[in-house]
């Protein structure tokens, strides 16, 4: 999980995409928010959704696998719901990343 979190955060930082990181390990409110905002069809059959989970404001975008696939297909900005900067394969907007 930690490696996936670092991968997402590293990508966002390297591409100067503004984001807000929410720590669900140390903050019960953040954990509750994430659980409530992950859609039913994106939750595991048993247990709680595991991080990292990506949101654009409160709109659920996906998990690490969805992010990784978008990155591999040079479609990260579309995945994040952002406009790619001129000359970029991969906007500025506030993103919430649940680590």
List, for residues 32-90, the tens digit of each pLDDT value: 999 999 999 999 999 989 999 999 999 999 999 999 999 999 999 999 999 888 776 55
Structural domain spans, the chain: 1-98
Separation between Cα atoms, residue 6 and residue 1, nearest integer Å: 9
Q: What is the CATH number of domain 1-98?
A: 3.40.30.10
List, for residues 39-48, the tens digit of each pLDDT value: 999 999 999 8
User: For residues 5 and 99, is the Cβ–Cβ distance under 8 A?
Assistant: yes
Separation between Cα atoms, residue 50 and residue 59, nearest integer Å: 17
Cβ contacts of 30 within 8 Å, gap of 6 or more? 22, 23, 24, 98
pTM above 0.85, yes or no: no
């Amino acid at each position: 999980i930690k490696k996936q979190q670092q991968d997402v955060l590293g990508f966002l930082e390297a591409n100067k995409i503004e984001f807000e990181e929410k720590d669900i390990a140390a903050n019960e409110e953040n954990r509750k928010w994430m659980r409530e905002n992950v859609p039913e069809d994106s939750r595991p059959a048993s247990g709680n959704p595991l991080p990292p989970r990506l949101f654009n404001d409160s709109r659920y975008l996906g998990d690490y696998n969805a992010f990784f696939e978008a990155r591999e297909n040079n479609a990260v900005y579309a995945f994040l719901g952002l406009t790619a900067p001129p000359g970029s394969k991969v906007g500025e907007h506030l993103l919430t990343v649940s680590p």
